[in-house]
Amino acid sequence: MKIPDTVVEEVLSSADIVDIVGEAVQLKKTGNSYKGLCPFHGEKTPSFNVNPEKNLFYCFGCGAGGNAITFVSRFHNLSFTDAVMFLAERYGISVATGKDDSKRSGIIGLHEDILLETKRRLLSAEGKEAREYITSRKFPDAIVEEFGLGYFPLRLDTEPYLKRYGKDVLLASGLFVEGQYGVRMRFFNRLSFPIRSITGKVVGFSGRSMDGSMPKYMNSPETEAFRKREILYNFDKAKDKIKKTETCIITEGYFDVMRMVEKGYGNSVATMGTALTKEHVDQLKRYAQEIVLLFDGDEAGFKAALKTLDIFLESNFFPYAVFLPKGEDPDTFLLQKGAKEFEKLLDAKKDLFLYTVDLLRAKSSDFNRKLIHLGRIKEKLMRIKDPYRKSHYLEAVAKRFEVDPDIMKKDVDLSLAKTNLKKTNSAGLNYICERHYLSSLFQLPEDLGQRLAEGVAESYFHDPVARKIFKKLVEVFNEGGSIEILVNDPEVGEDIAEMRIQQESQEDYYRSAMENRGKIISNAMPAFKKNMTKKISEATSFEEKMELLRLQNSVVRNEVIDKKSEV
């Protein structure tokens, strides 16, 4: 869906960013801005800044930044479109939809129709086997209804859906395929599980085979509405309970979550049979202070736990792990042993980082092995940002591996310093004037900003981020759009927010833009002149040489004019 820029501008002008952020973050006024603990990464000292004058937020700790739409999108894990719709509904703004919206909304509408049909089929004569299977799993009717289970029949008449939505939408949904005999349903003779987005919309399905055919579980493919790496099963219903208890329990399967909800663990979600992703973790950490992962108590479960740790380190979050008895899963364990015994397992949860350390220590049969495994752990320690947590883990590792903690700390600190030095050297120089120039353009009307961008080339920027922002600014100017939309650009939005938050308020943004424009052109001149001299000397004709000289003179003349404007 392409939402008109005018609607986005109206949403941004209507939205009170302090109110919106304040619903999720406890903010404290400091001067002209507000500060609080960042909801996107763990921290103890507030580095999250909200500037109502510029209608922006920025975290100096993790780099998250943007406007009200960006915040709603990141915090609630919504697409840009859904975030705009969410705010538009809140502020009573009408959002006109056009052709670009038809496919996505069509897919959602189709899913809702299929959900009703599968639930109807489950209760029909052809759904008898599926009903008996559910009964054999001992799930009460209330849970089956709550999770919307249904049945994909052997044959489904596609004609009504083709008439209502069209072939393009059916194929785009991933539920249908086209073959020699026309369009048919991809899923058949399977127990159906609707998969919902964070807002409760049905964005996909999973089907469990009823006749032993493989794969045992089949999921909807990736579509405009369904991105598996961003969605957790049952999160739409669990999120409020997770926020209330500050704890989330993660398991693997659909039936596991259903059983856990039945037994009172409404803060449970599932990864739907795939590995946990950074997107999943980033979404959960906004709601939970503690995450408990449930693993099978076999070798595969242990390996899965080790892989999962790296995902959490990337998001600066540290979960607990619970290993079920071999051959058990949450569904069977709760059914046979009950919630009381399950609570004992939860009480015995292990810190996943320290569990990994213990596992590697057990495999360190000699000194060489010990050094190899210490190297692996050191890499993980280097990724921990919180100094207290790092110190705690460092001492625990040194004790388990019987090494001097001071020597280990020096080794970790030295390796981290070398890594940071490499990053600093590769980043190059940061030209402040470039960022001040761009920040000032954002404070000016588009037509004035466009005039100030004339005579400045993309190649004049030394900072690669500033160069990218300038390129996109020029594109928006040429299209006659609003530059405020760029704050929501996935490539440069956060950089723009950081740049604008950091710039001090100016009495005259036009003068600021002019002064910094002159500096940018002046900084670019040595390289420009050198390059032009080379091109002129290599010119093969008199006409080409004269054209290059005219271009050089024109640019140099603009530089002189800019210098005079500064005076």
Domain ranges of the chain: 5-90, 99-226, 230-356, 363-427, 432-444+468-566
**Residue 41 pLDDT > 60, yes or no?**
yes
**Residue 257 pLDDT > 70, yes or no?**
yes
Please, are residues 381 and 416 in contact by the beta-carbon 8 Å criterion?
no
| pLDDT > 90: percent of the chain | 49
Q: Which residue has the higher pLDDT, 507 or 361?
A: 361
| pLDDT > 70: percent of the chain | 92
Residue 484: band (very low, low, confident or very high) from pLDDT cuts 50, 70, 90: confident
d(CA 456, CA 520): 8
Residue 101: band (very low, low, confident or very high) from pLDDT cuts 50, 70, 90: low
For the domain made up of 230-356, the CATH class stated in words is: alpha beta
Total residues found in the chain within this entry: 567
**Residue 55 pLDDT > 60, yes or no?**
yes
- Residue 505 in tokens: 């308020």
**Other CB atoms within 10 A of residue 508 CB:** 10
Q: Give the global pTM.
A: 0.69
Q: CA angle, 384 as apex, 378 and 389 as ends, to 5°? A: 105
Beta strands across the sheet bearing 190-196: 150-152, 190-196, 202-209, 217-219
**Residue 266 pLDDT > 90, yes or no?**
yes
Which of 79-93, 110-124, 214-228 has the lowest average pLDDT? 79-93
Q: What is the mean pLDDT of residues 445-469?
A: 89
Where would I find the beta strands (DSSP E) of 344-479? 350-351
Specify the CATH number for 99-226; select among 3.20.20.100, 3.40.190.10, 2.40.100.10, 3.90.980.10: 3.90.980.10
Query: Looking at residue 103, what is its pLDDT?
Result: 74
The architecture that CATH gives domain 5-90 is: Alpha-Beta Complex (3.90)
Cis peptide before 215 (omega within 30 of 0): yes
Q: Three-class SS of residue 79?
A: coil
Q: Which residue has the higher pLDDT, 480 or 472?
A: 472
pLDDT tens readout for residues 522-533 = 888 777 777 777
Q: Which residue has the higher pLDDT, 535 or 220?
A: 220
Pairing mode of beta strands 48-51, 28-30: unpaired
- Comparing CA positions, the residue from 518, 502, 531 lying closest to residue 562 is 518
Please, are residues 495 and 465 in contact by the beta-carbon 8 Å criterion?
yes
- Residue 281 in tokens: 């973790």
- Comparing CA positions, the residue from 191, 88, 59, 174 lying closest to residue 136 is 191
Q: What is the mean pLDDT of residues 278-292?
A: 88
d(CA 284, CA 185): 34
Q: What is the mean pLDDT of residues 319-327?
A: 93
Query: Looking at residue 566, what is its pLDDT?
Result: 42
d(CA 355, CA 393): 11
Whole-number CA gyration radius for the chain:
29
**Residue 405 pLDDT > 70, yes or no?**
yes
**Residue 254 pLDDT > 50, yes or no?**
yes
- CB proximity list for 213: less than 8 A, separation 6 or greater: 189
- CB proximity list for 513: less than 8 A, separation 6 or greater: 437, 440, 441, 444, 449, 452
Q: Three-class SS of residue 475?
A: helix
What sign results for the dihedral spanned by CA atoms 153, 159, 162, 167?
A: positive
**Residue 497 pLDDT > 80, yes or no?**
yes
